[in-house]
Structure 1
Amino acid sequence: MDMNLDIDKILYADMQNALRHQAVILYEDERSLLLQDISSRLTYCTALDAEAAANMIGHIKDFDILVSHDEYCNQAIQQRFHITYENCCYHCVYIGHKRFFVDLPAGFHFAFVDERYMEDVIALYRKEMPELANAAYMRKAMDYGLIGVFHGDELAGFMGVHEGGSGSMGMLEVKDCYKRKGLGSALEKAVINMQLERGKIPYGEIFIDNTASLKLQEHVGLTIGDRLTYWFYK
């Protein structure tokens, strides 16, 4: 019998999305699950008790980034690899099925962002995530679909999906001069619609101290989980 991820659809949105995408199950039983997304090479794990976690973590040969979903896995990872998690996040998930009607202020329009705007994208995203603000990473986002909101020909903001479409929604940026116009909410709704059209789970990962983003998720209509995921880097 396999572990049932439906027991917490918010917490396990990333694992369920990976299974829809192109994940390989590395180990599974009725009390634990270990899988890796082929595209992003992110490894995900969860367990229902300490014994199951220790057994499952023993099947990990190597990883770049390991995302744990519970304290049982945290302890097993720490004991085996002698590392601690560096980030922890809440999941926020759009659990509806209907697409949003998205309205923009006069003079603004949506379009996919292409490489003509690469310098703008990197400069804007560097303020929030300098380690990801590079041409290679953003090109993957553009290839999947980086949605931009434009004022004429000027890029006012953008949002997309991490890891070339296999990860969470994110990378939301709006230029300072265009803030407080509802563009952030509009971009998120547009990305949710894109994910629904492509059969993906529209979910995001929010650092626990990012209160502004958590408020935005509630405003848009996403459900915020009450449990955390923990990110380990080797």
Structure 2
Amino acid sequence: MNQRETALARLERNRLLYLDMLEVLRRGTAQVRRAGEDGVLLYDPPSEVWFVDADTPAVLEEMLPLMEGCTILTGHQMWYKDTLAAHFGFHTEQICRQSAWLGGEPPAPLAFGGELRRLDRSWAVWAEAHYSHSFGGVSYMEESIERGMLGAFVDGQAAGFVSFHVEGSIGMLEVLPQYRRRGMGEALLRGAVALAMEQGKYPYGQVFTDNGPSLALQEKVGMTLSQELLFWIF
């Protein structure tokens, strides 16, 4: 087997945990920097993210020289989080669970008293202004719109949105305060899953472990949450 085939064989053993890595391989942007039965290292140039999967300290030690210039990474085993943070001098971390739609058909749309529409680039400034975890500025929102952003509208007024991050995950789900508790978040997440499947993407997201409402939303929609934890450090 070549490196890509070896990586896929390893990652498919736990599809839910590694769906983010499988997505960048599926779309053909990931570079396989190391692949074996005991771990896989990917680099995705569009997002500049390193994806780390290692079973043992020896495997991790083999990977470190390959990651020169790393500024952001996601790890799939918690045991080496602090080691990598110290090695690269990273100070910010996010602990997540992987969430994925594993059904063969997309979830049914949910009625919420409004409609979902695809947004165009003219909405980038508005979306950036209303996203509660904004980063990357208007240009990142423009790129997200190109990847596929859905807006929720009630009586012609924009009430929320959802899109895809550059590495492929469903994210940026935001409902404006005055429209919350109407099922709009669920409608947007269902719509994003359907859009991902329509585009041939793997429908997955990553949810912070301390975000109880978002974890509950994933389960309400029918997403499957990984038992294993992942982490981001940068």
Regarding TM over 0.5, the answer is yes
Deviates more, 1:112-121 or 1:136-145: 112-121
Q: Which of residues 86, 89, 98 in structure 2 aligns to 1:91?
A: 98
- Note if 1:184 corresponds to 2:185: yes
Alignment of 1:33-44 (within 5 A): 33-44=40-51
Structure 1 residue runs without a partner (length 5+): none
Match of 1:5 in 2: 11
1:131 to 131, 135, 138: 135
Is it true that 1:200 corresponds to 2:201 in the alignment?
yes
For the 8 Å contact 2:78–2:229, the answer to whether it is kept is no
Render the CA deviation track for 1:48-95: whole Å, top value 9, x for unaligned. 112112112232122221111113543552463354661111111111
Q: Deviations over 1:155-188 (max 9, x none)?
A: 111101111xx32101111112211211111110
CA contact (8 A) 1:68 1:231 kept: yes
Kept in 2: contact 1:57–1:76 (CA 8 A): no
Q: Distance in 1 between matches of 2:117 and 2:173?
A: 15
Kept in 2: contact 1:148–1:156 (CA 8 A): yes
In 1, Cα distance between equivalents of 2:86 and 2:153: 50
The answer to whether the 8 Å contact 2:76/2:230 transfers is yes
How many residues are treated as equivalent by the alignment? 227
Map 1:1-234 to 2 at 5 A.
2-3=6-7, 4-21=10-27, 22-74=29-81, 76-78=83-85, 80-83=87-90, 86-106=93-113, 108-125=114-131, 127=132, 129-132=133-136, 134-163=137-166, 166-233=167-234
Deviations 1:112-147 (A, max 9, x none): 11233333212210x2x1334x21110011111100
Against the structure 1 CA distance between its residues 42 and 142, is the aligned structure 2 distance closer, same or farther, given a 3 Å change threshold?
A: same
Give the AA of the match of 2:127.
Answer: V
CA 1:195 to 1:80, structure 2 compared with 1: closer, same or farther past 3 Å? same
Structure 2 alignment gaps of length 5 or more: none
> How far 1:9 sits from its partner (Å)?
1.4
One-letter amino acid matched to 1:140: E
Report the residue type matching 1:141 in the other structure. Answer: S
CA distance in 1, matches of 2:89, 2:192: 38
Q: CA deviation at 1:104?
A: 2.3
Q: Distance in 2 between matches of 1:111 and 1:161?
A: 15
Structure 2: how far apart are the matches of 1:168 and 1:15? 11
SS at match of 1:10: coil
Tell me the secondary structure at the aligned position of residue 108 of structure 2.
coil
CA distance in 1, matches of 2:162, 2:124: 13
TM-score normalized by the length of structure 1: 0.90
8 Å CA contact retained: 1:26, 1:36: yes
Q: Measure how far apart 1:194 and its partner are.
A: 0.9
TM-score normalised according to structure 2 size: 0.90
Give 3-state SS (helix, strand or coil) of 1:55's partner: helix
Please report how far the alpha carbon of residue 25 of structure 1 lies from its aligned counterpart in structure 2 after TM superposition: 0.8
Q: 1:148 is matched by which residue type in structure 2?
A: G
Q: Determine if contact 1:97/1:196 at 8 Å carries over to the other structure.
A: no
Partners of 2:123 and 2:87 lie apart in 1 by 44
Q: CA RMSD, aligned part only?
A: 1.8
Identity %: 30
